[in-house]
Amino acid sequence: MKDLVEFIGKSLAENPDEIRVETTDKGYETVYSLYVAPEDMGRLIGKGGRIAKAIRTVVKASAIKSGVRVHVEIDEAN
Amino acid sequence: MKSIEVVARSVDEAIAEALQELNADRDDVQIEILDEGNKGFLGILGSKQAKVRVELIEKPEANKLEAALEFTRELLSKMGISAEVQGEEDSESIKLQIDGDDLGILIGRRGQTLDSLQYIVSLAVNRQTEGEWNRIQIDVGDYRVRREESLRSLASRAASKVEKNGRRLALDAMNAAERRIIHQALQDFPGVETRSEGQDPYRRVVILPS
């Protein structure tokens, strides 16, 4: 699943090398934090959050397939 | 592959002429100088014309279909879904067809997952390849075909109702592609007209008596 989030992140970013994914297991769900270069925030979030929403929808579909609960967060890398 | 040979007074002139004829930029072609030519004495004595062969390089957008197929296959495999992906392209769009067993998960509620998948593939492929923006449409099984049929029949049932009782009727909220199907289905329907109202994602088609 981490692989999937990273793959989508890198494919949409102008700076794929700066894409990093961290996983936090919260018990009831797993949170994937997708860190992107500040200048790529717009490319990963989109107008009105449209791209972020599409990323979450696709990752969630894959999670249903694997029978797990996931959440994707997108944030600026420091 | 399209290539032409041009003869002119100098290499530069020959290239310029060839580019004009091919309607191409310097970056789009490969140039082979067949004969450097020779200005000769005073441009007359012993002068020899320059000759070049200019060949159009296949542009990157020609590989967009390949890129789209490769990206979609990898995305699906990373999603843990085994499916076949095939594609075709025409001048303005690329169509991908996904087939396999149990692909309901890829469609999602009212096609939401499929729309998201299509959006991501379209952004990624257009970002990674040069050239014009290409519309990429993805279907899973015959979902879009059947959805279009059911939207058309919904549209004509609703339009008949409006035409009969003369009262406007608002349909459910739909995305832009689905609204377009409704507008197109009713553009020649007698006695009614359509318009879209509201803001996405709640934007909907309204059918009015005309």
Domains of chain A are 2-76 (3.30.300.20)
pLDDT tens string B180-204: 999 999 999 999 999 999 998 899 9
CATH code of the domain containing B153:
3.30.1370.50
Q: How confident is the model at residue B62 (pLDDT cuts 50, 70, 90)?
A: low
pLDDT at B174 over 90: yes
Q: Is B204 helix (H, G, I), strand (E, B) or coil?
A: strand
Separation CA B43–CA B31 (nearest Å) = 25
Q: Does B74 touch chain A (CB under 8 A)?
A: yes
Contact residues on chain B for A15, CB-CB shorter than 8 A: none
pLDDT of residue B133: 84
pLDDT of residue B40: 67
CATH code of the domain containing B8:
3.30.30
Q: Does A64 touch chain B (CB under 8 A)?
A: yes
ipTM for this prediction? 0.95
pLDDT tens string B71-117: 999 999 999 999 999 999 988 889 999 999 878 999 998 899 999 99
Q: Does B78 touch chain A (CB under 8 A)?
A: yes
Q: Are residues B111 and B69 in the same domain?
A: yes
Alpha helix stretches (DSSP H) within A1-78 = 2-12, 41-45, 50-66
Task: Give me the domain span that covers residue B107.
Answer: 64-141
Q: How confident is the model at residue B164 (pLDDT cuts 50, 70, 90)?
A: very high
Count: domains in chain B: 3
Mean of the pLDDT values across residues B25-52? 80
Q: Are residues B70 and B119 in the same domain?
A: yes
Residue B173 region by backbone torsions, left for phi larger than 0, else alpha for psi between -120 and 50, else beta: beta
Mean of the pLDDT values across residues B154-169? 96
Q: Are residues B76 and B119 in the same domain?
A: yes
Q: Are residues B50 and B70 in the same domain?
A: no
Q: Does B79 touch chain A (CB under 8 A)?
A: yes
Are A11 and B71 in contact (CB < 8 Å)?
yes
Query: Which residue among A7, A53, A61 sits closest to B105, beta carbon to beta carbon?
Result: A61
Q: Is B5 helix (H, G, I), strand (E, B) or coil?
A: strand
Contact residues on chain A for B109, CB-CB shorter than 8 A: none
Give the angle subtended at the CA of A62 by the CAs of B110 and B107, to the nearest 5°: 20
pLDDT of residue A49: 93
Q: Which of B86, B121, B141 is the last residue of a domain?
A: B141
Q: Which of B86, B111, B141 is the last residue of a domain?
A: B141
Q: Are residues B37 and B86 in the same domain?
A: no
A64 residue type, one letter:
I
Question: For chain B, what percent of residues have pLDDT higher than 70?
Answer: 94
pLDDT at B1 over 70: no
pLDDT of residue B56: 85
- In this structure, how many other beta carbons lie within 10 angstroms of the beta carbon of residue B93? 12
pLDDT of residue B41: 61
CATH code of the domain containing B76:
3.30.300.20
Q: Which of B141, B172, B195 is the last residue of a domain?
A: B141
Q: Are residues B68 and B45 in the same domain?
A: no
Q: Are residues B113 and B151 in the same domain?
A: no
Q: Are residues B169 and B194 in the same domain?
A: yes
Contact residues on chain A for B201, CB-CB shorter than 8 A: none
Are A57 and B106 in contact (CB < 8 Å)?
no
- Top-ranked range on mean pLDDT: pick from B12-26, B47-61, B84-98: B84-98
Q: Does B82 touch chain A (CB under 8 A)?
A: no
Which chain B residue is nearest to residue A2, measuring alpha carbons? B78
pLDDT of residue B129: 83
Q: How much helix, strand and coil, in percent to the nearest 5, is found in chain A?
A: 55, 25, 20
Q: How confident is the model at residue B48 (pLDDT cuts 50, 70, 90)?
A: confident
Q: Are residues B105 and B118 in the same domain?
A: yes
Q: How far B92 CA sits from the closest chain A CA (Å)?
A: 22
Contact in structure between B68 and B121 (CB atoms under 8 Å)? yes
pLDDT of residue B108: 94
Are B116 and A12 in contact (CB < 8 Å)?
no
Which tokens go with B45?
């004595």
Low-confidence ranges of chain A (pLDDT < 70): none
Query: Which residue among A43, A50, A65 sits closest to B105, beta carbon to beta carbon?
Result: A65
pTM of this structure: 0.73
Q: Are residues B136 and B168 in the same domain?
A: no
Which chain B residue is nearest to residue A64, measuring alpha carbons? B105
Q: Are residues B70 and B137 in the same domain?
A: yes
Q: Are residues B72 and B134 in the same domain?
A: yes
- In this structure, how many other beta carbons lie within 10 angstroms of the beta carbon of residue B31? 14
pLDDT at B61 over 60: no
Q: How far A15 CA sits from the closest chain B CA (Å)?
A: 12
pLDDT tens string B135-152: 899 999 999 999 999 999
Separation CA B145–CA B181 (nearest Å) = 11
